[in-house]
Amino acid sequence: MSPLLQKIYDLQDINTISKHEQIVHGIIGAIDSGILKVGDKLPSINEMVAEVGYARKTFVKAYTELKERGLVESKNLKGYYIISEETNVTLKVALILFAFHSFQEDFYNTFRKELGKRYHIDIFFHHNNLSLFKTILDNISRKYGMYVVAPIQQKEVPSLLKQISSNRLLIVDRYLKMPKDYSFISQEFEEVTYQKLVELTPQIKKYNRFVLFFKENSDFPPEILLAFNRFVKDYDINGEVVESYDATTLLKNTVYFFISDNQLWKVLKDARKMEYRIGSDIGILAHNDNIVKEIAFGGITTISTDFTQIAKKAAVFVKEGNPIQEIVPTYLRQRNSL
């Protein structure tokens, strides 16, 4: 009898674990003891059925769990191979985000903390590039137990994500219309941005102009642009949309509205050089809150959701697997910049 099969047989008299758990723990025991190493091929499911005598579906379930833990990889027509010796991992999780913006860093740090050390997280960034998004999905297909994805809002994307079963996929951040059994924790951008701008109407009307920095074909939510255009029209405000920042265009009596932090910091830097008073000479409004915006220049007014709460809810989904479909609230945090 092979040492691997002996590890599985040694667990058969333990009544508190199921048959598929005997196989999983037997293989993990073989890895821990050095019987199996990275690159070694496992017996096929048919071979296991013949040797151990359990039903085929029991071995399929066991091998699937080992794949989800990131210990085993199946290669088409070649079998199952050991790819990791990190047997302390409960589950391997793929996290796909737009980019490592400060608010997504907050999401990741909270998500990592909430899951704990027994969950292995691999993080990928698609930068709102559909080709890159497809490549990432192709490369990680069937290699993870859970997938947490901030999707690109394009018509091709739902069909790509439907290749992942609904109990293993969580959509976060941007809303994407998927079949009703898929879970999501998403923001709503257009209506909530419009309503928050309405709340800020008295402050905005103190200035002569209202400028939104918005770049087409970027990862900026297009709904924010729709909300801005609707607001300036409904409230008769001198609004302007600008794609990029030029220091020569920085003028007094203007409210500047930012989605990108990079442009925000450039404006604040130039405003300081020109001795413009933030909240008086110029107004500043930004999407996506963080601790720096809370304290910089006496505080930057923001329209933002709470990304740490999204991360906590996402971690619960990964650990417990209970379906969730939630549009998270968005908050207006009024500070001295407006």
What are the residue boundaries of the structural domains of the chain, listed by start?
Answer: 3-82, 91-188+307-329, 190-305
- CATH architecture observed for domain 91-188+307-329: 3-Layer(aba) Sandwich (3.40)
- Domain pair 91-188+307-329 / 190-305, same fold: yes
Quick one: how far is CA 131 from the chain centroid? 18
| DSSP codes of every residue in 294-318 | HHGGG--EEEEE-HHHHHHHHHHHH
Coil, helix or strand at residue 78: coil
pTM of the model: 0.79
Instruction: Band the pLDDT of 260: cuts 50, 70, 90.
Output: confident
CATH topology of domain 190-305: Rossmann fold (3.40.50)
- CATH architecture observed for domain 3-82: Orthogonal Bundle (1.10)
How many whole angstroms separate alpha carbon 312 and alpha carbon 307?
9
How many whole angstroms separate alpha carbon 96 and alpha carbon 93?
10
Q: Tell which residue, 159, 239, 164, has the closest CA to residue 194.
A: 239
Asked whether residue 153 carries a pLDDT value surpassing 80, the answer given is yes
pLDDT the model gives residue 26: 86
Q: Per mean pLDDT, which range of 38-42, 68-72, 145-149 is the poorest? A: 68-72
pLDDT the model gives residue 90: 78
pLDDT the model gives residue 1: 67
Percentage of residues in the chain with pLDDT exceeding 70? 99
Write the Ramachandran bin of 201: left for phi over 0, alpha for psi from -120 to 50, otherwise beta.
alpha
Highest average pLDDT, of 83-87, 118-122, 202-206, 288-292, comes from 202-206
Runs of H (alpha helix) within the chain: 3-9, 19-32, 45-52, 56-68, 102-115, 130-140, 157-161, 190-199, 201-204, 222-234, 261-273, 291-295, 307-320
Question: 232-243, pLDDT tens digit by residue?
Answer: 999 999 999 999
Asked whether residue 217 carries a pLDDT value surpassing 80, the answer given is no
Instruction: Band the pLDDT of 86: cuts 50, 70, 90.
Output: confident
Q: Tell which residue, 51, 47, 9, 50, has the closest CA to residue 27.
A: 9
HEC secondary structure over 211-256: EEECCCCCCCCHHHHHHHHHHHHHCCCCEEEECCCCHHHCCCCEEE
Instruction: Band the pLDDT of 191: cuts 50, 70, 90.
Output: very high
8 A C-beta contact, residue 67 and residue 73: yes
Asked whether residue 264 carries a pLDDT value surpassing 90, the answer given is yes
